[in-house]
């Protein structure tokens, strides 16, 4: 039977089970947290990002959820420097040019208050005279450092980034895997309902 693991990746952890640096500069990896053999992450989170990571030994499902052509939604909470205006938010929603590609349309809203998240270790840099704002962004693609590049492109650099949900979409049906019940560094097996949602993707 295939394994499906939900993991709350902390800040400063590589999304792989080994580090190719020399032993003197080894970084923390998934191996430090997950003692399950032969599972691999579905997509990636950057070293300096946090949040939900799905791991599995089901290669077909890994491909189905990772490939951008299937447009599975991923939801992030991002803390940005300063307070974005509606013009900036609309640019994020409509899609913007970053380097050699145009981002897809996204769902972007300001969170009414700071989300209830564990403190980050180390904390973000604090600047007394510069306010910050939390955005919820749902993307249907996962390009390298995309959220950070998007917010920087409209003038509001990302200070902290947490993936809070992965959408599972088939036809018009959308279900979500969430961080609920996990603390940074913790993982669990998918529930029976979550397994059914995931494996339904591979039904003919």
Query: pLDDT tier at 89 (50, 70, 90 boundaries)?
Result: very high
Of 13-22, 64-73, 76-85, 148-157, which range is least confident?
Answer: 64-73
CATH code, domain with 14: 3.30.2350.10
Round to the nearest angstrom and report the end-to-end CA distance of the chain.
19
Query: pLDDT tier at 112 (50, 70, 90 boundaries)?
Result: very high
Query: pLDDT tier at 22 (50, 70, 90 boundaries)?
Result: low
Q: What is the pLDDT of residue 109?
A: 97
Could you read off the pLDDT of 51-83 as tens digits, one per residue? Answer: 999 999 999 888 888 877 777 899 999 999 999
Tokens representing residue 196 in the block: 């059914």
| Average pLDDT, integer, range 166-187 | 85
Query: pLDDT tier at 169 (50, 70, 90 boundaries)?
Result: confident
50-56/40-41 β-pairing: antiparallel
Q: What is the pLDDT of residue 26?
A: 77
Catalytic residue from among 19, 32, 46, 48: 46
Instruction: Quote the Cα angle for 184-33-10, to 5°.
Output: 30
8 Å CB contact between 64 and 199: no
Task: Check if 100 is active-site.
Answer: no
Q: Which residue has the higher pLDDT, 25 or 47?
A: 47
pLDDT, the chain, mean: 90
Q: What proportion of the chain, given as a percentage, has pLDDT over 70?
A: 96
8 Å CB contact between 72 and 163: no
The tally of domains found in the chain comes to: 1
Tokens representing residue 142 in the block: 């996962």
Q: What is the pLDDT of residue 64?
A: 83
Distance of CA 72 to the CA centre of its chain: 12
Could you read off the pLDDT of 176-185 as tens digits, one per residue? Answer: 899 989 999 9
Q: Which residue has the higher pLDDT, 23 or 204?
A: 23
201 pLDDT more than 90: no
Comparing CA positions, the residue from 84, 83, 81 lying closest to residue 92 is 84
Q: What is the pLDDT of residue 141?
A: 87
Q: Is the sign of the CA dihedral 107, 197, 8, 35 positive or negative? A: negative
CA distances from 202 to 85, 99, 195 (A): 41, 34, 12
204 pLDDT more than 60: no
Q: What is the pLDDT of residue 43?
A: 86
Place of tokens 């989170």: 45
Q: For the chain, count helices (H), then strands (E).
A: 4, 11
Structural domain boundaries, residue 77? 4-200
| Host H or E run for residue 71 | none
Q: Is the sign of the CA dihedral 36, 40, 45, 48 positive or negative? A: positive
């Amino acid at each position: 039977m295939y394994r499906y693991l939900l993991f709350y990746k902390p800040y400063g952890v590589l999304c792989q089970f080994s580090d190719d640096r020399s032993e003197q500069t080894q970084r923390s990896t998934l191996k430090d947290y997950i003692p399950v053999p032969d599972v691999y992450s579905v997509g990636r989170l950057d070293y300096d990002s946090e949040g939900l990571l799905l791991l599995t030994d089901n290669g077909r499902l890994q491909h189905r959820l990772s490939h951008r052509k299937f447009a599975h939604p991923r939801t992030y909470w991002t803390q940005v420097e300063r307070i974005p205006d509606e013009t900036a938010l609309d640019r994020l929603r409509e899609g913007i040019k970053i380097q050699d590609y145009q981002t897809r349309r996204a769902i972007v809203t300001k969170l009414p208050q700071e989300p209830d998240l564990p403190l980050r270790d180390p904390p973000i840099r604090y600047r007394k005279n510069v306010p910050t704002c939390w955005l919820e962004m749902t993307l249907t693609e996962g390009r390298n450092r995309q959220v950070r590049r998007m917010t920087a492109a409209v003038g509001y650099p990302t200070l902290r980034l947490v993936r809070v949900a992965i959408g599972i979409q088939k036809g018009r049906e959308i279900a979500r895997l969430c961080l609920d019940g996990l603390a940074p560094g913790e993982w669990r097996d998918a529930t029976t309902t979550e397994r059914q949602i995931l494996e339904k993707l591979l039904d003919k």
